Amino acid sequence: MYHHPVLLEDSINALVENEGGIYVDCTFGGGGHSRKILSKLSDSGKLYSFDQDLDALKNEIKDERFTLINQNFRFLENSIMLYGITKVDGILADLGVSSHQFDEAQRGFSTRMNGPLDMRMNVMQSLNAQKVINEYEEENLADIFYNYGELREARKLAREIVHQRKNKKIENTEDLKKIFHFIPPHKANKFFAQVFQAIRIEVNQELDALKDMLVQAHRILKPGGRLVVISYHSLEDRLVKRFLKNGMFEGEPKRDIYGNYKKYFSLLKSKAIVPTEEEIEQNPRARSAKMRVGIKES
């Protein structure tokens, strides 16, 4: 299976309020969430789905109500305007890397299988993991590991990479893993997951893309429209949580003389919605998922 959709029932039940409405799936992937959305829509409903990965286009759904847009969701607003759409009823974004991408060794996302240092969601872009590892300055590498992987030993890791690449180009995922031979076996799985996450975020500019999408999502949602975001690590979830709270990613909003600030969204639930133990058992990759739902204020 291309991808097992996480929180499928919860996300679509939270998203679709108007069966004749216009909806957006920002992360089409294998089409699991999109198919479920379409099952909730009437003949007059419309769904626009985004995916920058060319592999995902093979999963296109044949349905007159459906349009698949081969584009990064950071270009959400301009892309749907090309179809004459300025306002939508709901937007869904599942921020996880698809099972297909993890399971294809050639994509370089997996810590389990050896593959080229690639990690591009969009294979047409020039920046890949090999360029990051072999060409970035030591200080930049350290920042990436610290900020995107939340690795305390970031400077040591960057220094080791720069030292090793002087002797031999680091070409594949096994080359990279061998550099960190000093990591104790019982810590290796979590460590390499953090390292690969950090590189992947840099290659795909994932946090900047997420910020762009959230800002545009607020602009194009109708009052009462719903924004549903499923995230998989604290960096994403923190951005989503803050934006839903006050429309900002950092700092504090301006308050009036009574201490109130402009609300962008009301929350469907005050705490993040997480998968059940049963879902996690069926799909272990759902373990870290957190879903937040915002309802746009008028």
Residue 94 annotated as lining a ligand binding site: yes
Answer for the pair 290, 272: CB distance below 8 angstroms, yes or no. yes
How far is the C-alpha of 134 from the C-alpha of 22, rounded, in Å? 45
Answer for the pair 6, 36: CB distance below 8 angstroms, yes or no. no
CA nearest to 290, candidates 244, 250, 251? 244
Q: Residue for token digits 């005050």?
A: 270
Residue 32 annotated as lining a ligand binding site: yes
Residue 225 annotated as lining a ligand binding site: no
CA nearest to 218, candidates 270, 271, 295, 290? 295
Q: Which amino acid is located at 80 in the chain?
A: I
Cα–Cα distance list, 177 to 119, 130, 174, 183 (Å): 15, 13, 5, 10
Angle of helix 206-220 relative to helix 185-204, nearest 10 degrees, comes to: 50
Answer for the pair 38, 47: CB distance below 8 angstroms, yes or no. yes
State how beta strands 221-231 and 290-296 pair. antiparallel
Residue 101 annotated as lining a ligand binding site: yes
How far is the C-alpha of 285 from the C-alpha of 84, rounded, in Å? 37
Residue 73 annotated as lining a ligand binding site: yes
Residue 33 annotated as lining a ligand binding site: yes
Binding site for S-adenosyl-L-methionine: which residues? 31-33, 51, 73, 94, 101
Binding site: which residues? 31-33, 51, 73, 94, 101
